[in-house]
Structure 1
Amino acid sequence: MPMLRLQLTGNDDVAIELINLLAAIEGVEHVEEIGDLMPHMDDEDSSSAGLPDDASEGIHQIEVRIPNALAGDRVRSVAEALARERNAGIEYDDDF
């Protein structure tokens, strides 16, 4: 099964909503938010602590297992519509 990977820049509520919408698409086998593998070197005593970049929306890595390209197109359409509606960012990295 091909895997579609997407990255959502938005708050936790938008990520949960997107995961639920994608899981409801016919043919989608599995949707999962994967952990952030990059260690963050945030230090409260850092000279950059409290800057606007530290207060930005979250980044959510989501994997979607799909049966074919048609389901992938549906996933992209839903993800893009939600991102537009919620003022979130969406990027793709897919295998198919």
Structure 2
Amino acid sequence: MPTFKFRLTAGSDTTSALINQIASLDGVESVEEIADLMPHMDDPDSSSAGLPDDMGPGTHLVRVEAGNDIAIRRALEVAEASAFDNGAVFEVVDDKAR
């Protein structure tokens, strides 16, 4: 089953809306936020810990599974466009979808 993963830097509401939007596409079998194992360098002992610049939207790792490559490409297009429209940062984690 074709899949791709992407990381979204956005608020939880934006991420949930995007997940719902992708899930409604024809051919998409599954869309879910998964555990992000990437270290984000959040050092609680840092002199900058807790500063307002350090308090931004969270990062969310999302996996999309679809029945075919066409549905994956469409999900990728929708995710990119939605992220742009909502001011979110979108990053494809694996490039199998491209």
Instruction: Give the root-mean-square deviation of aligned CA atoms.
Output: 1.7
Task: For residue 67 of structure 1, report the CA deviation from its aligned partner.
Answer: 1.8
Q: 1:12-51, aligned counterparts within 5 Å?
A: 12-38=12-38, 41-43=42-44, 46-51=46-51
Task: For residue 60 of structure 1, report the CA deviation from its aligned partner.
Answer: 0.5
How many residues in Structure 1 have an aligned counterpart in Structure 2? Answer: 94
Once the two structures are superposed, residues 15-61 of structure 1 have per-residue CA deviations (whole angstroms, 9 ceiling, x without a partner) of 00011011101110111100122466542x53121231x21211110
CA distance in 2, matches of 1:57, 1:72: 26
TM-score, normalized by length of structure 1? 0.85
Which residue in the other structure is 1:60 paired with? Answer: 60
Q: For 1:29, what is the secondary structure of its paired residue?
A: strand
Q: 1:68 to 1:35 in 2, by over 3 A?
A: same
CA distance in 2, matches of 1:20, 1:26: 12
Partner amino acid, structure 2, of 1:46: S
Which residue in the other structure is 1:73 paired with? Answer: 73
Q: For 1:18, what is the secondary structure of its paired residue?
A: helix
TM-score, normalized by length of structure 2? 0.83
Q: Identity of paired residues, percent?
A: 47
Q: 1:41 to 1:8 in 2, by over 3 A?
A: closer
Unaligned runs of 5+ in 2: none
